[in-house]
Each structure stands twice: as C-alpha cells, then as structure tokens.
C-alpha cells in the first residue's frame, strides 16, 4: 500500500509539458473554435521556433563542418526573431504560449545530442528538413484558414522565410550526403 501511494505521489510531481499547459489555458479562454484553432497554431509555431533555436545552438557546438554550423546559426538567429514577433502577437491576442521547451523538443534535442559525431551533421540536416516541411504545411493552413487577419498576416509573412530555411536545409542535407 505504501508503494502505491509513494508511486502516485511521484507521478503527480512530474512537471506538465508547457505545450499542454498552454493548450489547456487557451481551450478555457476561447470557446470559439476558430479562435482556439488560431491559438493552437501560435502554440505550434512557438514550439517550432524554440526547438529550432535549441537544435541550432547544438549544431553550432557539435558540428565539424561550416555549412551545418552556418545552418544552425541561421536557425537560431531567425527563429529568435520569429519567436519574439510571435510572442508579441500572442500577447495581443491573449494566447498562452509554451514558456519553455516542450517534451517533444527536449526529446528531439536528446536524440540529436546522443548521436555519434560521425552521424550528427546528416541527422541535424534531416531533422531540419523534416521540421520545415511540416512547418510550411502548418503555416500555409494558418495563412489560408485563420479567421484573424493579424494571425493570417503573420503566417503569410513567415512562409517565405520557412521556404528559404527548407531550401538551405535541403542544400545542407545534400552536402552532408556527399561527404
């Protein structure tokens, strides 16, 4: 009996994922499905930027090749700017955002951190390609379906940068494969 109680106490003390917290707060704030969808987009965009900043910093530290370090630097610089603009927009819309890396982002960081040095560059490029391919889909949906003009404008304005990031990631991926 004591083991069960002790186990239960440990499970309850686990910190909740910041993405889940933000989504729960937003669900309580927005009864309108369109506004809740906009909030979900902003949460996902914030998660993406935080993850790209984290992984970009890791790439700058771990990579042995210039093009991967340059890609990492580009991700850190541009996603930091994007996250700042996103935070201003979310605040204006009363949308709660994750306040730290999400569980998924931490898992991606751990996975990349644990990769052998010889595989790191290609794995980072592959992850960046996959993330930006997904991000473009998410941003295109928000740009076309958002009911909020400012959120729609933010998503639309971010798309050229996302596409450029994907292009740079694909170039980096190709260079890593050609090693």
Nearest CA to 38 out of 147, 179, 124, 177 is that of: 147
Rounded CA separation 125/172 (Å): 6
Phi-psi group of 97: left, alpha or beta (phi > 0 → left; psi -120 to 50 → alpha; rest → beta) = beta
Rounded CA separation 94/38 (Å): 11
Nearest CA to 131 out of 44, 3, 43, 68 is that of: 44
Q: Is the pLDDT of residue 150 over 60?
A: yes
At 105 the pLDDT is: 85
CB 53 within 8 A of CB 80: yes
150 or 34, which is more confident? 150
Tokens of 26: 């937003």
pTM for the full predicted model: 0.81
Tokens of 157: 């304005």
pLDDT digits (tens, 9 = 90+) for 102-112: 888 888 899 98
Rounded CA separation 144/165 (Å): 21
At 34 the pLDDT is: 64
Segment among 73-87, 96-110, 142-156 with least mean pLDDT: 96-110
Residues 6 or more apart in contact with residue 12 via CB below 8 angstroms: none
Residue with tokens 């490029």: 125
CA distances, 87 to each of 24, 151, 154, 157, 178 (Å): 18, 12, 11, 15, 39
At 145 the pLDDT is: 94
pLDDT digits (tens, 9 = 90+) for 24-47: 766 656 666 668 889 999 999 999
CA distances, 38 to each of 92, 111, 150 (Å): 13, 30, 10
14: confidence class by pLDDT, cuts 50, 70, 90: low
At 5 the pLDDT is: 33
């Amino acid at each position: 009996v004591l083991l069960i109680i002790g186990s239960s106490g440990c499970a309850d003390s686990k910190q909740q994922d910041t993405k889940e917290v933000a989504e729960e707060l937003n669900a309580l704030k927005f009864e309108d499905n369109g506004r809740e969808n906009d909030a979900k987009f902003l949460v996902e965009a914030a998660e993406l930027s935080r993850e790209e900043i984290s992984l970009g910093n890791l790439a700058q530290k771990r990579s042995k090749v210039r093009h991967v370090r340059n890609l990492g630097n580009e991700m850190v610089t541009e996603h930091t700017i994007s996250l700042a603009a996103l935070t201003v927009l979310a605040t204006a819309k009363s949308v709660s955002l994750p306040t730290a890396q999400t569980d998924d982002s931490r898992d991606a960081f751990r996975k990349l951190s644990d990769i052998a040095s010889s595989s790191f560059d290609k794995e980072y490029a592959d992850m960046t390609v996959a993330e930006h391919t997904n991000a473009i889909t998410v941003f295109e949906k928000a740009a076309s379906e958002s009911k909020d003009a400012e959120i729609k404008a933010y998503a639309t304005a971010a798309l050229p940068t996302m596409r450029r990031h994907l292009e740079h990631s694909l170039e980096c991926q190709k260079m890593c494969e050609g090693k």
